[in-house]
Amino acid sequence: MTRRTITAAVSLIAATALAVTGCSSKASQSKGASGSAAKAVSAGAPKLTIMVGGLSKQIYLPFMLTKQLGYYAKAGVNVNLIDEPAGGDATKNMIAGQVQGVGGFYDHNIALQALGKSSESVVSMLQIPGEVEVCRSDLKGKIKSPADWSGKRLGITDVGSSTDFLTQYLATKNGVSPAKTVRRGVGAGSTFIAAMKQKAIDCGMTTEPTVSQVLGDNTGFILLDMRTAAGSRQALGGTYPATSLYMTTAYVDAHKDVVQKLVNAYVSTLKWIQSHTGAQIADMMPADYYAGVGKSTYAKALDSEKGIFNPNGLMPTDGPKTCLAVQDAFNDTVKGKKIDLAKTYTNEFVQAAVPLA
């Protein structure tokens, strides 16, 4: 399945929803840059671009929060954040040399190694996926688990994204061949919700604050919840490290000083998250990040899922094995390949991180 196979109806829904909201990645960036906590970076600071697989998603919150806290400037790096709805596309841009880093799920590094590419996570930001599988309310009682997915239309961020990986795994684990489902890239936020309301998808995988919106107006119900360690273990069989900053190994080896500055900034942000409430975190974020759901609901969602954030940035010891087991269950690119997990991440920079005041 390619992006071209997504139906015209879904494309129209997505386009309409985007037109209504008027929220673009550029708007998010400009608001973030003008935030009161954002600091000017010295002209001589190293510059790099990081593409994030959905900047306004709470699972990727550390990237913009770091900017809002002024930690990029304090660390001495000039970071340009670009919003790309799908992690798979962000990864392609990194391999092509268009961006220096990706804010996305760690599991992409395993898939890349299977393709003969070398990349690595340099800081782990989420201990668990924070993803939720929701289904339309009119299907409650008809879809009770992924075992009921045969013939169903399943919403994912986009083809090749981690939501695509996890959706295929959950189907396979529950006895349904991914080939017997229809996976549709519907993004997140307004486009995801529009796809559900127009019945373009039956179920879909998404994150906060979209989850709160879906539940708030009874558009859908929760089928599987991976916002907790217990829910993640039940669905995936173990700890599943998710959001990370990953880069090509060649870039990391050639720019260790820049990578260390970045990791200093992110470790500082992860510590800041642990010592602040959802309301305090929401106060730091651009207003368009919570416009659809409301600031109080956004903050409440943060409080309820704060446990998804990695408190120290180190890769969970059992996480890479779980991610490999998930990939090996359905991904023909990974199946049968000898994957050296030690080369898909490093704790070197986190262990040497100097927290910023």
Residue 194, burial from CB neighbour count under 10 angstroms (0-12, 13-18, 19+): buried
CATH of 23-129+240-351, one of 3.40.50.620, 1.10.10.10, 3.30.505.10, 3.40.190.10: 3.40.190.10
Residue 343 has φ and ψ, to the nearest 5°, of -95, 0
- Please report, for the chain, the start and end positions of each structural domain, with discontinuous segments joined by +: 23-129+240-351, 132-236
Task: Provide the pLDDT for residue 157.
Answer: 92
Q: Which runs of E-coded beta strand occur in 186-334?
A: 203-206, 220-225, 243-248
Nearest Cα to 202, choosing from 133, 136, 131? 136
Supply the pLDDT for residue 19: 34
pLDDT of residue 6: 37
Q: For the domain bounded by 132-236, which CATH number is listed?
A: 3.40.190.10
- CA–CA separation, 119 vs 285, rounded Å? 30
pLDDT per residue of the chain (357 residues) written in tens, 0 to 9:
433 333 333 343 333 333 333 333 333 333 344 344 445 667 789 999 999 988 999 999 999 999 999 999 999 999 999 998 766 688 999 999 999 999 999 999 999 999 999 999 999 999 999 999 999 999 999 999 999 999 999 999 998 888 999 999 999 999 999 999 999 999 988 999 999 999 999 999 999 999 999 999 999 999 999 999 899 999 999 999 999 999 999 999 999 999 999 999 999 999 999 999 999 999 999 999 999 899 999 999 999 999 999 999 999 999 999 999 999 999 999 998 999 999 999 999 999 999 897
Closest of 161, 195, 204, 160 to residue 15, by C-alpha: 195
Task: State the number of CA atoms in the 13 A half-sphere of 277 facing the CB.
Answer: 8
User: Do the first three CATH levels of 23-129+240-351 and 132-236 match, i.e. the same topology?
Assistant: yes
